[in-house]
Structure 1
Amino acid sequence: MTIGGAEMVDWNLAVATATRLVRPGPEVDREQAREVVGELRRHAEASERHVREFTSMTPPDGTPDLGGTPVLIVDRPGWIKANVAGFREVLRPLLDKMQARRANVPGSAVISAVGGKVTGVEVGMLLSFLSSRVLGQYETFAPATHDLPAGPATLEPGTAQQGRLLLVAPNIVHVERELDVAPHDFRLWVCLHEETHRTQFSAVPWLRDHIEGEIQSFLAETEVDPATLLERVREALQSLGGRDGAEGEDRPEVGRSMLEIVQTPTQREILSRLTAVMSLLEGHADYVMDGVGPEVVPTVAEIREKFQRRRQHGAGRIDLALRKLLGLDAKLRQYKDGERFVNAVVRQVGMTGFNRVWTSPNTLPTRQEIADPEKWVARVHSK
């Protein structure tokens, strides 16, 4: 939806800004580039078999198999375009609501035009930073475009296409060189992680709709009245900056980020559930890539040790500061907490027992259960 031809976010400007600011990838000649692309495609295909055998996860009878979704080997601008398309799709209901709220405001067309360009630049700057760091990604909500095909619809006939696996070739080459690890092994190791995500969504048909429903519920709770939002931000800043006691007693806001404070109580509950499921998905992918690794990746122990050190320490002070600002540190904790949960559950009830996590939304772990896996085992396996 647009007002006066202006969108709330100028997505074309976001793409243009990000591609203009993105750093060039590592130097490779044409023959090397072809070799990298070909090997990543072969590894992605092989990873599908390895992951399914290790996890025992297959689509239910009669369910379309997302294993046939496209595997796209992209450069950094290609990753940017794909993610802008995904953002645009997921955020559409919220932006439409904001546009409708502004429809009767004097000067709304000018406000939308200016605001859309400002936001487009901001989104572009964020994506330019991330585009040189992401190795791969399974795009769950990806709409198909001419340049970026997506997988077949999984619901009723006529539903939008969805799902594609992205592998960012220049970033994979950059990291394998930085870590000084065997390229063949590292590329397969990365593919195992990303293929696990594709397997999660292909074997668990309800998972995509569940996550999308949570995201849309979160966005529906977003306060679109600027005055109210500004007041909430002001209160948040006051709570972060001032303390009643020496250690902030009786101030539950102390120690929480401003983002958490400006959320409504309902949003915090939704975010807690989303954090738990994302910890599960990321931790499960790490568990699988390391579990399959010894059989097919001879240097998996060296790769894991070096990669984990890189994750924890980043590339430098600026990188660490940006990661903290953007909340990427929380994502790193999701990997660690989720993998610890999967490890503990599999040790206690085996892979078959762990796979009960995929039965329904009710069997997904809570944040408390991610931190204390025995609580999940007691709740789910006592039935």
Structure 2
Amino acid sequence: MNLYRSARTVAGASGTDAIDWASAAEAAKAATEPGSLALESGEQAAYAQDVRAARTAVRSVSGVEFDVPETVEIQNRHHWIDANVATFERVMGALEPHTDTFPGIARTINTGTMTVLLAFLGRNVLGQYDPLLLAEAPEGDHALYFVRPNILEAAQTLEVDPERFRRWIAFHEVTHAAEFGAAPWLSDHLEDRMEHGISNLSAGRFDREAFRELDAAMTVVEGYAELLMDHAFDDEYADLRRKLDERRQGRGPLQQLFRRLLGLGLKQRQYERGKNFFEHVVEAHDLETASLVWESPEYLPSHDELDRPGLWLRRVDR
């Protein structure tokens, strides 16, 4: 880790875009230890086995035919930063056609902010199912990442068996693959809501409804994943979830501030709110009814229905 090199890279940000993406990626990696990818004997095969087991179990409980992405990577932190800087560039790039040329000082600040974001997430993300939203890629070209150093570090901090913890992460990410497999329209729907909201925001208008719809859709994505994990995971998991929640809540003031600034508190709320919605639906009916959310965009619960599942059940005639 070289904080001096990171700061110099940010200070030297150049170009005509709002953010110098190459500098942001380089600076984030300079500020972040990559972590080891020295896999132990059989470890790579164990990751593959976890993914296959998760695919079989999730298919069984959900009734959804899907496959895992062809791209399944075991990464270090630098690999994750490289893989995700393009995602951030695609999302933020939607703003730039609507903005004037950024002066150098603003570009430096923006590049520094993105550096902090990438470095923080690179040190904390455990696994990721990436639907490659807004990417010009062939249909179905998604990716699955596991950040090995973060998984091992988190397992040690939480005092849990690293193999069981790794398997739990694999099940969580594969449930996301099931969602996008069950709903081929989901990528387009999320992209449309993102582009609509960003376009209005860049034009000086805040489209509250577009962001509410995007938040509702992401809450469904996270909540349904939690539901499937509860039904599909082939080991005890309550202690893993409890310890992870305690770890998030027990972090120091600086990390808590970063989480709020980066919107990670919103993501936790999406987990909890979505899980509560689906638990109510399954308790009232069954998993098959919960899976109706993937029939079409019209079947997604609204922002209000997420807090009042009975309204959604009546609307879908259940």
Q: TM-score, normalised by structure 1?
A: 0.74
CA distance in 2, matches of 1:212, 1:169: 29
- Give 1:201 shift: 0.7
**Which of 29, 41, 51 is the aligned partner of 1:44?**
51
Alignment of 1:2-17 (within 5 A): 6-17=16-27
| 1:183 maps to 2:120 | no
CA distance in 1, matches of 2:173, 2:278: 17
- Give 1:45 shift: 2.2
Report the counterpart of residue 350 of structure 1 in structure 2: 286
Instruction: Please tell me the residue identity of whatever aligns with 2:213.
Output: R
CA distance in 2, matches of 1:37, 1:318: 35
Alignment of 1:242-257 (within 5 A): none
Report the counterpart of residue 306 of structure 1 in structure 2: 243
**Which of 361, 364, 370 is the aligned partner of 2:297?**
361
| Secondary structure of the corresponding residue to residue 287 of structure 1 | helix
**Residues 241-291 of structure 1 deviation map (CA, whole Å, 9 limit, x = unaligned):** xxxxxxxxxxxxxxxxxxxxxx62xx2111111111111111111222222
Instruction: Please tell me the residue identity of whatever aligns with 2:297.
Output: P
Alignment of 1:222-371 (within 5 A): 222-224=201-203, 264=206, 267-293=207-233, 296-297=234-235, 299-311=236-248, 313-371=249-307
| Secondary structure of the corresponding residue to residue 222 of structure 1 | helix
Structure 1 residues not aligned, in runs of 5+: 60-65, 103-107, 145-149, 155-160, 230-262
- Give 1:114 shift: 4.5
- Give 1:30 shift: 2.9
CA distance in 2, matches of 1:218, 1:328: 19
CA distance in 2, matches of 1:31, 1:222: 45
CA distance in 2, matches of 1:223, 1:286: 34
Report the counterpart of residue 174 of structure 1 in structure 2: 153
Alignment of 1:22-101 (within 5 A): 22-23=32-33, 25=35, 30-32=38-40, 35-58=42-65, 67-98=68-99
Q: Is the 8 A contact 1:342 1:354 kept in 2?
A: yes
| Secondary structure of the corresponding residue to residue 90 of structure 2 | helix
Q: Is the 8 A contact 2:69 2:141 kept in 1?
A: no
| 1:201 maps to 2:208 | no
CA 189–29 in structure 1, closer or farther in 2 if over 3 Å, else same: closer
Percentage of matched positions with identical amino acids: 31
- Give 1:142 shift: 5.8
Instruction: Please tell me the residue identity of whatever aligns with 2:247.
Output: R
Report the counterpart of residue 124 of structure 1 in structure 2: 115
- Give 1:301 shift: 2.8
Q: Is the 8 A contact 1:10 1:116 kept in 2?
A: yes
Instruction: Please tell me the residue identity of whatever aligns with 1:42.
Output: Q
Q: Is the 8 A contact 1:218 1:270 kept in 2?
A: yes
| Secondary structure of the corresponding residue to residue 146 of structure 2 | strand
CA 359–325 in structure 1, closer or farther in 2 if over 3 Å, else same: same
- Give 1:113 shift: 4.7
Structure 2 residues not aligned, in runs of 5+: 1-13
**In the comparison of the two structures, how many residue pairs are matched?**
305
**Residues 98-133 of structure 1 deviation map (CA, whole Å, 9 limit, x = unaligned):** 2xxx3xxxxx5xx45553343222101111011111
CA distance in 2, matches of 1:31, 1:171: 14
CA distance in 2, matches of 1:373, 1:75: 40
- Give 1:143 shift: 8.1
Q: Is the 8 A contact 2:176 2:225 kept in 1?
A: yes
CA 360–29 in structure 1, closer or farther in 2 if over 3 Å, else same: closer
Q: Is the 8 A contact 2:301 2:312 kept in 1?
A: yes
Q: Is the 8 A contact 1:13 1:121 kept in 2?
A: no
CA distance in 2, matches of 1:356, 1:286: 16
Q: Is the 8 A contact 1:282 1:338 kept in 2?
A: yes
CA distance in 2, matches of 1:121, 1:37: 35
Q: Which moved more, 1:115-124 or 1:340-349?
A: 115-124
**Residues 324-379 of structure 1 deviation map (CA, whole Å, 9 limit, x = unaligned):** 22221111111111011111111212111111111111110112111111111111
CA distance in 2, matches of 1:31, 1:77: 16
Q: Is the 8 A contact 2:37 2:75 kept in 1?
A: no
Report the counterpart of residue 219 of structure 1 in structure 2: 198
- Give 1:72 shift: 1.3
* Greater Cα radius of gyration, structure 1 or 2: 1
CA distance in 2, matches of 1:375, 1:35: 50
Q: Is the 8 A contact 1:89 1:141 kept in 2?
A: no
